[in-house]
Chains A and B, each alone.
Chain A
């Protein structure tokens, strides 16, 4: 059924369709409408999961730890400071191998106080052992919640569905809301063989030896890498059932492109328009949309790039003193290649500044003409 939904409501509908058992959440702008809607759906009987209105984000993830440990499908949502406040718990639940799904609606980090979007909140959780999938439309948001549960439950790693605050969270778009029966076919009931059973005296997360700890982390890394294939398989299955295909990286008009914009999140949709404009002007422009950040699709990237081309990586995030974070990761992934494309990193739209088609076209041109500095981050601003 086609509906016009804001991004946050698309997420909530996804959580309902996933037949989530337990939702535990705390309000924070711009995420709040997700939990408001789930609460409404619960009060009207359309959503039957338990809802715990916790007193903090730290407790939100702690409650998910408890519920997921007994094998209940669990969900929370947050943004920015809330995500940072959860940081300890993010490590814990991935170490405990709990397939929790969380939405992070990107919002820049304070200080100073800031409400609008950038990706530094989610990307600074890079090493917590969570998968991260970035969305560039409201349809992708709904679909990604379902995809995230399927992948998370197969590899027993928690997954974060990430999208831009306000640009997507509060913006209405037409969304195809799938049929519950089809969703049930795509996402079977969670059966976690490692769940705590109340009738069996076993302890979970007790102190191991260093050797055991090391091996558990090696196993987590092994499964995180395995998740790349599981994601692609889930994408194929999703297409069979729903007719929409999702990949780890998604190229657009790249076949003969000399210079390719590399973008994640909502600006990737804007970048399609920018590429179309550039093509009209006779420029050989392409777009690569980054969908997965963890696990990082390094192999897919290496297969995708051709020597002699240029990549213009647009980061709405930064690692102070170094680069945009996607740019860092892409450079690192391409390093093993003998012949590498040139990679330019651009920082744009921090704290919610617009990333317009004009800005993206300018970025493309700076990279295409070799005017940008490949050795450092290029800070870009729409001068208008």
Chain B
């Protein structure tokens, strides 16, 4: 047997969960738990994972999980950590597992507060770029020009995606990373690393969503990789303010290759795609100037 991968074999995600076929957020959880291991408690606000974790009395992960109201994940996790420490448990890792709506939008205040206090928790946002659990409405994480149920006009979403990582960086926290399930080894490595760091850590997972992005369920891994290979989504780490790209991509593929495989961008014109390429190129100038 030759497994050409460095990711652990043991599973903390159980089959039988209620995710849609080809769900990126399920793969994300699978790899995150491989990196984190046991002695982890998840805190989950309203998001797809509220359902995926299982209706009572069932659970689809091998670690404890606390459901909490939409706006509260970072605050609930802060309290949970404090409660554990008060009871003499310093080692259990408290991990928020929240969607982009619960992070970019309604949960941003609590997130900012917890980051500002440098709470000793790991906050993970699985970013599928819209309110998918309620049926694909625009969030602050929705990319410019993307179709959603609330951006159905000709041009799609008008505003650029909120630069959440920069907002987090402005909180002077010890660790920020981006990951996506197309690169499980990178994911597992970063979650392991995050576990070993004290203070507030933030990981954003770009998480393809077949019904929301309108792509075939078999394309989840491909799109996750294409997001990286086209530079639409950059894999990086920011450790104590030091920015480092995780993968050298000397020749990025054309952004169109990523966009054209998603129904949410079906309405884009060639001019739109040129504009989106320019946005990506500009972002990479900034990344490269920082590396």
Contacts and interface: CB of A to CB of B under 8 A. Distances in A.
A71 B87 contact: yes
Contacts of A282: none
B112 to A, nearest CB: 7
A21 B86 contact: yes
Contacts of A63: 75-76, 78-79, 82
Contact-residue bracket for chain A: 35 or more
A62 B72 contact: yes
Nearest to A60: B75
B232 to A, nearest CB: 33
B62 interface: yes
A89 B87 contact: no
Contacts of A92: 68-69
A226 interface: no
A65 B72 contact: yes
Given A55-B116, A65-B79, A198-B92, A70 B110 contact: no
Contacts of A24: 75, 78-79, 82
B79 A197 contact: no
Interface in A175-213: 196-209, 212
B87 A21 contact: yes
Nearest to A22: B82
Contact-residue bracket for chain B: 35 or more
B85 interface: yes
Given A203-B65, A206-B67, A66 B109 contact: no
Interface in B63-77: 63-69, 71-72, 74-77
A78 interface: no
Interface stretch (B52-60, B152-160, B199-207, B274-282): B52-60
Contacts of B74: 59
A66 B51 contact: no
A67 B77 CA distance: 8
Given A64-B79, A66-B81, A208-B55, A72 B69 contact: no
5 contacts: A21-B83, A59-B74, A67-B80, A198-B41, A203-B59
Interface of A: 21-22, 24, 49-50, 52-56, 58-60, 62-72, 74, 88-89, 92, 196-209, 212
| Nearest 10 pairs of A and B residues by beta carbon | A66-B79, A63-B79, A55-B113, A66-B80, A67-B83, A59-B75, A72-B83, A62-B72, A62-B75, A21-B86
